[in-house]
Amino acid sequence: MKRYYIEGGNRLYGMVKIGSGKNALLPILAGCILIDGVTTLLNVPRYSDIDAMLEILEHLGAVVSWQDENLIVDTRVLNSHDVTLESAGKLRASIFTLGSILGRMKLAKLAYPGGCNIGLRPIDLHLSGMRALGAKINEKNGFIYGNGSQMKGGEFILNFPSVGATENIIMAAVLTLGKTTIINPAKEPEIVDLQDFLNSAGAKISGAGSNIITIEGVKSLHKNIVYEAMPDRIITGTLLIATAMCGGEIELENVNFQHNQALISKLSKSACQFDLKRDKIKMKASGRLKSFGEVDTAVYPGLPTDLQAPIMALQTISDGACVLLENVFEARFKHVPELIKMGADIKFKNNVCIINGREKLYGAEVKACDLRGGAGLVLAGLASEGYTTVSGIEYIDRGYYKFEEMLSKLGAVVRREEY
């Protein structure tokens, strides 16, 4: 078993180049299924979720290879439309392949998706989106069976701006002749990135990031393309919060600070200094921050739910009380009991946490129960007195690549160890 060993108390200094984002790459990899060509994705960090998605693509018949950090996905020949239980269950994004498989092969059989245990995570919006385009969808014996032979452009109103459902419906519509309109879509930057990626392959998508997305179906995406997905805005936010907790001065390269505007504005009000350039963020933090007072996670451009746990870790040592509401997922507080083991003063009920900031936390043996909760525990360890071990780091590897190296480069004492 692997865990992180962390010695707290070091300030963070230095520069980190941010790699392409997990939540941009996963829908883009699902989008490769639509392309009768060879796709080269540049500078791809090997998050373990990427390997899980590549396993699905290879099972469909894609040929996958790596050239250093560049990933080459050849989807000219696909000879299966099945996503098996074993691979689908490894990640939430397996369901994102439904739209592409139906669009390209007209038949699909998928096991239900996995993903972090942060709530029920239904797929009703995904399935009703496919049906709105004329796909026949049946759920039987733990599988989703789809027939897209009669699909045609249609209109779908999302009653919640689901990120994955928006991406899935876009991909189902790309090769479906006719015009498709998605109303109340998710506006996350990853949706814009997916639009840009698919349009570079010949798709006709517009409106990503706005209230209405339109897709004009095309006959095929017959192209070889080279693309670099957007930088990971959650890793960017995690490092900014780590610096706010530990103090220091960092520079992040290959970033788009607009993607973290909500967090940067909160940190600025709590006495962090920023120098924001087009693709660089410089941040300086010293001393104990003031509490954020109130934290409401929200869909983009609000404070992202994926930064809730790192933000909570920061609030446990900030000066003052904080009311934190998790408004996106109904069970995303598994890191709370672990933070309490480290001396945090947190009361929680349903989706609300009351955090009374303490002068400091103390190192303890804690365990990650999901990806972002694990990241929050690592940050708490970095800022604690004494040493902390974080077990369950296979969750963290899903969305942070070589996280211990990234943090050590900034002066933290973090190492991966067997136990």
Query: Distance between CA atoms of 340 and 338, rounded to whole angstroms?
Result: 5
Q: Which of residues 158-217 bind ligand EPZ (CB under 6 A)?
A: 160, 162-165, 186
Member of 23, 100, 291, 388 binding ligand EPZ (CB under 6 A): 23
Please give the residues from 324 up to 353 whose contact with ligand EPZ meets the rule CB under 6 A: 328-329
- Our CB check for ligand EPZ shows the closer of 48 and 162 to be 162
Instruction: Kindly report the number of other CB atoms within 10 A of residue 97's CB atom.
Output: 30
> What is the closest distance, in whole angstroms, from the C-beta atom of residue 360 to ligand EPZ in the complex?
28
Residue 159 neighbours by CB distance under 10 Å: 9
Q: Please state, in angstroms and as integers, the Cα–Cα distance from residue 305 to each residue in 18, 164, 196, 312, 371, following that order.
A: 20, 14, 24, 11, 12
| One residue of 191, 371, 382, 393 binding ligand EPZ per CB under 6 A | 371
Q: Is the bond into 301 cis (omega within 30 degrees of 0)?
A: yes
Marked catalytic residue, from 32, 116, 246, 353:
116
Percentage helix, strand, coil for the chain under 3-state DSSP, each rounded to 5: 35, 30, 35
Q: Which is nearer to ligand EPZ, 18 or 186 (CB)?
A: 186
Phi and psi, residue 179, nearest 5°: -100, 130
> What is the C-alpha separation between 215 and 185, in angstroms, rounded?
13
Residue choice 12, 18, 26, 342 for contact with ligand EPZ (CB under 6 A): 26
> Which of residues 123 and 135 has its CB atom nearest to ligand EPZ in the complex?
123
Measured distance CA(152)–CA(3) in Å, rounded: 50
| Dist. CA 149–CA 134, nearest whole Å | 9
Measured from the CB of residue 334, what is the shortest distance to ligand EPZ in angstroms? 12
Quick check: is 272 catalytic?
Answer: no
Q: 67, exposed or middle or buried, with CB in 10 Å at 0-12, 13-18, 19+?
A: exposed
Which DSSP string corresponds to 201-237? TT-EEE-TTSSEEEEE--S-B---EEE-PPB-HHHHH
Q: Of the ranges 7-15, 18-26, 245-253, 286-294, which one interacts with ligand EPZ (CB under 6 A)?
A: 18-26
- Closer CB to ligand EPZ, 22 or 318, in the complex: 22
The smaller minimum CB distance to ligand EPZ, of residues 190 and 404, is found at 190
Closer residue to ligand EPZ in complex, CB, 1/120: 120
287 binds ligand EPZ (CB under 6 A): no
For residue 103, the minimal CB distance to ligand EPZ (Å) is 18
Of 289, 372, 392, 406, the residue at the interface with ligand EPZ (CB under 6 A) is 372
CA 64 to chain centre: 22
Q: Using CB under 6 A, which of 180, 305, 315, 388 touches ligand EPZ?
A: 305
Contacts to ligand EPZ from residues 108-137, by CB under 6 A: 116, 119-126
Cα 350 from Cα 336, distance rounded (Å): 12
Residue whose CB is nearest to ligand EPZ in the complex, by number: 164
List the catalytic residues: 116
Interacting residues toward ligand EPZ by CB under 6 A: 22-23, 26, 92-93, 116, 119-126, 160, 162-165, 186, 305-306, 328-329, 371-372, 399
